[in-house]
Structure 1
Amino acid sequence: MVYDAPEIGALPAGGKAVPVDAWGVPADEFVATRPGLADLPTPLVTLDATALTRNVATMAAWAAAAGVDLAPHGKTTMAPSIWRAQLEAGAIGITVATGWQLTVALREGLDWVLAAYPVLDPQVLRFLGKPRTARVLTWVDGVDVVEAMAPHVADAVAPVDVLVELGATGGRTGARSRSAAAEVARAVAATPGLRLAGVAGYEGALAHDASPASLVVVRTYLSDLAALHWTLLDQGLYGDVPGGLVVSAGGSAYFDAVADVLAGAHDPDGTRGAPTRVVVRAGAYVAHDDGFYRGITPMNRGSEGELRAALHGWVRIVSRPEPGLALGDAGKRDLAFDEGLPEVQAVRRAATGDTEPLEGATVTAMNDQHTFLSLTGDARELRVGDVVRLGLSHPCTTFDKWQLLPVVDDALAPQPVLVDWVRTVFG
C-alpha cells in the first residue's frame, strides 16, 4: 500500500518528525534513500507498514465472514490515505463524528459516509440537502433534534438520510427507550427534507471491559436495537430508501457481539424484505494498540485473525539524574496517556544499535514534554542518548498529535527502515 509520500511534496522545515537534513526534500525522494530510525528525530511516533496492512486485511476478512459491512470510524486516524486502504480492502464507507470531519470526508471524494452524531450546523445541513453523489447518513436521538434540523432541510432537493439512535440509561447520547426512539422515528418520517433510513447506536459507552457481566449488558442493548429496527419496519415508518436501510453499531471493543446479535438483519439485496445493511463502525483496529484495545479486542475472544499494534513511540533518554530514574524527550504533547501510560518495550543503544528487548523499565508519569522511566535490574544501565521504544494505548489520541507520521517497514525489526509517510488532517 502506498500512503502519502508521493503527494506530500517538500518536507516542511520545522515539521515534527522531519529531520533537519530533510527540510525541503521531496518526501518520496527522502523515502527512496531508505533512511533508518537513526536518521529521524525524537520524540517520534511511527506507523508499522506490516502491521497496518495486516490489520486492514484481518478486519476486512472478519467482516466478510461475519456477514456484515464495515464503515471504519475515520476519527481514529483522520488520515485519508489510510481510509483509502480500508475502502480498497472492502469497507463500504467511513464513519465520522463531527461536521468538520464530514466535510473532510466529502472533500476527499468518499461516496458513503456515516455521520455518527446529530448534524445541527445550518450550513452543513443546507449543503447535505443539495444534489450529490455521495450517500450521507446522520443520527438523531430526540424529537427536539429533529425540530432543530427541520428549518434547514425544509427546502432540501435531496432528503437527508437519518438514523434514529437508541441509547441506554447511563450511556452517552441516544433515546433512552425503544418507545422514545419510535417517537423520534415518527417525527423524522413526518419532517420534510428528512428521510428515515434506519437505526444506530453505540454499545461501547455501556461497558469498559470484556467481563461476562459487561458482555451481557452489551448484548442486551444490541437486542433492543434490533427490536427497534423490526418495530419501525412493521409499523411501516420506513419509506422507499435508495441504497437501503442501515442498522449500525459496533465500536472497536464489541464488534463480535454486534455481528452475533445483528447479522441476521443484514440483507443488502432485499431477498428477505427491505434491503438492509448491518454496518459495524470499528476504527481503532487499523492501528490497534499495546494497551486498552489489546486487552479488550474481540480478536482475543475467539474471533478469527489477530491484530498487531502499528503505533510506537520512540523516546531519547536525555537525563539520568538518579540511579533508578531516566527522563525521555516525549510527553503528553507527543504520546497518548488517557487510557494508560505507554509501556517500555525495547531499546536502541546510542540510538543506532539494533532494537533489543528492555526489561525492568516502567513509565511512571508524563509531563508535557518528558516521560519518567523507573529503572530496575539491567534497565539501570540505560544511558543518555539511548532510544527507547514504547508501546502506546488508545491510538485515537496519538494520531491527533502528529501531522506527519513516518511509516517504517517493521517497527519490531532490528533496524526499521522508513518506507512512506502518512499525513493526518486534524484541522
Structure 2
Amino acid sequence: MRLIKSILFLMLFVCFSCNSVKKETAINQLSKFDVNTVLNQNVEKIKTVTQKLTFYDSFPRHIDENNKQWSYVKTKDWCSGFYPGILWYAYEESGDEVLKNKAIKFTETLKTIAYSPARNHDIGFQLYCSYGNGFRLTGNQNYKEILLAAADTLATLYNPKVGSILSWPSQIKRYKHNTIIDNMMNLELLFWAAKNGGDKSLYDIAKSHAEQTMKYLVREDGSAFHVGSFDIETGAFLQGYTHQGYANESMWARGQGWGIYGFAMAYRETGDSNFLNTAIKLSDKFLDRLPEDGIPFWDFDDPKIPNAPKDASAAAVAACGLMELSGLVQDEKLKSKYFNGGKALVENLSSSAYLSNAKNDALLLHSTGNHPKNKEMDVPIIYADYYYMEALLRLKKLENI
C-alpha cells in the first residue's frame, strides 16, 4: 500500500512538473517579441481609435499627461502628415479598407500645402508621409501631381549662395539662413520628384543641401548640431546651435536619429560614398552612447541623466535609419551591426515600459518634444508612432516574415 501511494505521488509530481514547464514555456513564448503580433495589435488599436475621429482637418499630435485621447492640430502644423501616414502603414499591413478610406480622407485634407507658399522645410514631413505613402500603396496619379507640386514648393526655400534649403523662415533674425538636421528627412521628397517627372534641378538641390549639412552640421566626433547658421548673402558658415537640445555642443537624440536616417537615404539616392560614411559615423556614435535599457535619453549630454526624460521618438527614427543603412553597407559585419541595432530599438520600444497598451490612444509612451521650452515632455507624440510603425514594417520585410 505504501509503495502504491509513493508511485501515485511520483506520478502526480511528474505531471505537475510537466504542466509547470509547459505553462512557463507558454508564458515565455507570449512575452517573446514577435513583429507580427505587435503589428497586428497596433493595427487593431489604430483602427479602433480612428473610428472615433471624424474631423479630417484635425490631426493627432500628442497626449497630455493624465489624458487618454489625442490633442489635435490643424493642417499647417508640421506634424499634420504623420497621422495619415500611420493609417497608410496600418492599411499596408492589414489591407483593411476601413483604414484605407480613413487614410484617404485625412491625406486629402493636406492638398493645400502643396500649392501654398512655403512656410518652412516641413513640407516633406507633411506630404511625403501622407501623399507619398498613399501614392506608393495606391498608384493614385492625382497624388503624384500633388507630390510634384509639393517638391517645387519646398525648392523655393533653396538659397544657392548657401547651397541649402532655408529650414525656418520665421527664425531668420535669430539664426540668419538656418539649416537644421531634421531637414535631411525632407530631401527624399525632392529626390523622388526628380525621378518621377519633376525638374532635374530638384536632385541637385537635395544633394547640395546634404553636402552642406554634412560639412557644417556633422561634427568630427560623429555627433551633430541641431542648427547651422549661414550668412544669407555670402553663404559663409557662422555657427552651430541647438534649438531643442541641451546645449549647442550636446548630442540631441532625435537630431542624431534624423541624421542617421537622412544620410543613409541620401546615399541610397545619390551613391555618394561620403553620405554613406557620414551615416555610419552618426550611427556608431548613437549606438555607442545608448544607455543600459537601449532607449536614448532626450539628449545624451543632459547632466541630469539618469533622472532625465527618455525620447521614444528618437529611438523609432534611429531604428528606421539603422535598418535602411543595414541594406546599404557591403560589409557583412556592418550589415549585422546596424540591422541588430535597429531591431534592438524596436524590441525595446515594444516592451511594457514603452508600449501604451490600454493607457491611452497612442502606441508609444515616453517621447520628448521640445525640452528647453518644456513642451511635450515625456508624453506620447504622433511622430514616434509613425516611425515606430515604419520600423516594424521594415523589420518584417528584412526578416521576410
Q: Which has the higher helix share?
A: 2
Tell me the TM-score range normalised by the shorter chain: under 0.3
Q: TM-score, normalised by structure 2?
A: 0.26
- Bigger relative contact order, structure 1 or 2, given CA contacts below 8 A and separation 6+? 1
Q: TM-score, normalised by structure 1?
A: 0.24
